[in-house]
Amino acid sequence: QVQLVESGGGLVQPGGSLRLSCAASGGIFSINTMGWYRQAPGNERELVATIASGGRTNYADSVKGRFTISRDDAKNTAYLQMNSLKPEDTAVYYCQWAYGNLEVWGQGTLVTVSS
């Protein structure tokens, strides 16, 4: 089965940047869709961005122009570059591997945006 490991979270000041990584193993990475989701305390998990196998991307309105999702199929890794971070971006960020009726989630990495 596919396994995902996120990394790159941490504490950053408002206006700062972070890059999250999601390393996948056990699947055919090049043909799947990868996604990033986030969940803040008391909130439901929400979509941040997705990227299809052909490179097509989709973003939540709240992060458009600030976040960029990408994938490196040779490294079986997806990324989320987060710029101009705001306190409301504080959440646990999860990556998702999806293909057909299959979905696999990583364990999450905490991003805290605070001065």
d(CA 39, CA 47): 9
The pLDDT score that the predictor gives to residue 100 is: 85
Q: Phi/psi at 10 (nearest 5 deg)?
A: 165, -165
The pLDDT score that the predictor gives to residue 60 is: 98
Give 9-57 pLDDT, tens digit per residue. 999 999 999 999 999 998 777 789 999 999 998 999 999 999 999 999 9
The pLDDT score that the predictor gives to residue 1 is: 81
The pLDDT score that the predictor gives to residue 107 is: 96
Residue in 53, 64, 68, 57 with CA at minimum distance from that of residue 17: 68
- Beta-sheet pairing, 67-72 with 18-25: unpaired
DSSP-derived 3-state class of residue 45: coil
Give 90-100 pLDDT, tens digit per residue. 999 999 999 98
Q: What is the mean pLDDT of the chain?
A: 95
Number of H helices, E strands in the chain: 0, 11
